[in-house]
Structure 1
Amino acid sequence: MMTRQFITLIILMLCGLTARGQQVLSFENPTRDFGTIREADGPVSHTFTGVNRSDKPLVILDVVTSCGCTVPRFSKQPILPGGKTEITVTYDPANRPGIFNKDLTVYSSERKKIATLTVQGSVTPRPKSLEELYPIDAGGGLRLTTTLNAFAYLYPGHPVQGAIGYVNDSRRTIRLELRPTAASGLLRTEAPTTIAPGERGSINVSYLIPAEQPRYGTVRDAQEIFVDGRSNGTALVTHGIGVDPRPAPDAAAPRSEYSVQILKFGPVKHSASIRKLPVMLSNTGNAELIVRAVEGKGEVATTFAPGLRIAPGETFRGEVLFDPRTQEYGVMSEHLVVITNDPVRPMRRIRVTAIIEE
């Protein structure tokens, strides 16, 4: 009896292996290695030929790629049993230097995965033009890699640094001047006053919040660029978010939990009175939670305020207030930014929307 059961089990296992090993749509070589290709030569293509190994007609519903750089072309005509079909795959190496390995998943009209194709290779990058390397025209022959240095969190006593590349694309020496239009008092900038023809370098910016003088919330600086005393309006912007120092790994810490991330007031008459919606802020940590800063554009008001303290396990019921009489008709969208001493997620955004009607 045991022997018969064992033989039956082996037969069932072999049948399962055979079923799994036989693909519905079979490709003799499902992988195409393009080898080394040059970015300058443009896209490359390969046609895969598949055979319907099932006993019924097969329709390809879709071929899903893992990257927009890989584009398949295929027919949705039924493939008879034993019939063949072609899938042409084109890979675009533009701005994608180095090794690539892209999978394409083939799905049948029954929404089942029936095959996987792969294209791979290596791209030799083409030489970049000066305009590509330095896309920002700051005027007077000065070109920049970017105009933005966006730092994440700024911790007291911990400096952060960034760099903006430049090149003088003119045939003369130019004079560079950076004039502040918004100043935090914390930014340090290192930039040349003159730049020779063809010279390349970097404008270095850094922030350091003093450990004994913490700064909470948005820290932002803007500097308008003047070349030989003239400006085309280009400005360098640097910003970050000032937060509390990181606590020790084993130290007690607060944890902020908000009841909502989006507040929708919906349609509101322009003549209506002030509207209110609640927002719950809970402290699920094991240390006191402190609100450090609350920021917004001024479209709405809130009862959350700097200095608000919430004990571990407690919840504060805040409100967001909206006066439609001060708004223009149409859609209103605002982001409230709340900074706390939560070491994991110090900054949280609450989006507030409304539709102002007559």
Structure 2
Amino acid sequence: MKKVFLILTIAAAVSFTSCKDNATNKVNSDNVAKAEQRDEAAKKMPVMTFEETEFDFGNIPQGQTVEKVFKFKNTGDAPLVVTDAKSSCGCTIPQKPEAPVAPGETGEILVKYNGSGRNAVTKTVTITANTEKGTEQLRIKAFVEAKDAAALPKA
């Protein structure tokens, strides 16, 4: 029994060590080069650089619709794809670009606010894109003057 175990152990050791030399011969250098190119391309990311990320409309009458175009540039080295644009409430509507923005090119996001609410308001628009962070934020501000406040005499 001991001889059988010894022979099996030696046979296993020989079979495992004999494969070492053949493994390096089986690696295809073309596949290695393609994998390196793929990995390098995956590191390229678009960068969304806005001219401004916050805008103040100042004083606006209640119910008046105002809008702002936020301009940005893709300062990265891959096409920028904006997949979604959502606001913090239904009174603010963002419109995202439908086409990808190539590196070095510019794009726009239109944000419309319907003037609801009263006094100081701040609304946030969250942009989802294929950037490194994945999301960017824009803010609009306004001081909404109530309709009935305009009719009151000023002191």
Aligned to 1:121: 142
Is 1:107 the counterpart of 2:107? The answer is no
Distance 1:61 1:111 in 2: 14
Shift of 1:114: 3.7
Distance 1:59 1:98 in 2: 36
Aligned to 2:98: 76
Shift of 1:109: 4.7
Aligned residue pairs total 104
Shift of 1:127: 2.3
Distance 1:83 1:44 in 2: 27
Q: CA RMSD in A?
A: 2.1
Aligned to 1:38: 61
Amino acid at match of 1:104: V
Amino acid at match of 2:102: L
Which protein, 1 or 2, shows the higher relative CO under an 8 Å CA cutoff with sep ≥ 6? 2
Given that residues 103 and 116 in structure 1 are in contact (C-alpha distance below 8 angstroms), is that contact kept between their aligned partners in structure 2?
yes
TM (normalized to structure 2)? 0.62
Distance 1:50 1:44 in 2: 20
Aligned to 1:319: none
Structure with more of its chain in helix, by fraction? 2
Amino acid at match of 1:118: R
Aligned to 1:98: 119
**Deviating 4+ runs (over 2 angstroms):** 109-114
Q: Deviations over 1:207-243 (max 9, x none)?
A: xxxxxxxxxxxxxxxxxxxxxxxxxxxxxxxxxxxxx
Amino acid at match of 2:121: F
Amino acid at match of 2:148: P
Given that residues 60 and 108 in structure 1 are in contact (C-alpha distance below 8 angstroms), is that contact kept between their aligned partners in structure 2?
yes
Distance 1:112 1:87 in 2: 18
Amino acid at match of 1:75: P
Structure 1 runs not aligned, ≥5 long: 1-22, 129-358
Which of 80, 93, 108 is the aligned partner of 1:86? 108
Given that residues 33 and 121 in structure 1 are in contact (C-alpha distance below 8 angstroms), is that contact kept between their aligned partners in structure 2?
yes
Aligned to 2:152: none
Structure with more of its chain in strand, by fraction? 1
- Classify the secondary structure of the residue corresponding to 1:127: helix
Amino acid at match of 1:78: P
**Which residues in structure 2 correspond to 1:276-291 (within 5 Å)?**
none
Q: 1:84 to 1:110 in 2, by over 3 A?
A: closer
Is 1:66 the counterpart of 2:84? The answer is no
What fraction of aligned residue pairs are identical, expressed as a percent?
32
Amino acid at match of 1:99: A
Distance 1:30 1:80 in 2: 21
Amino acid at match of 2:141: Q
Aligned to 2:73: 51
Amino acid at match of 2:120: I
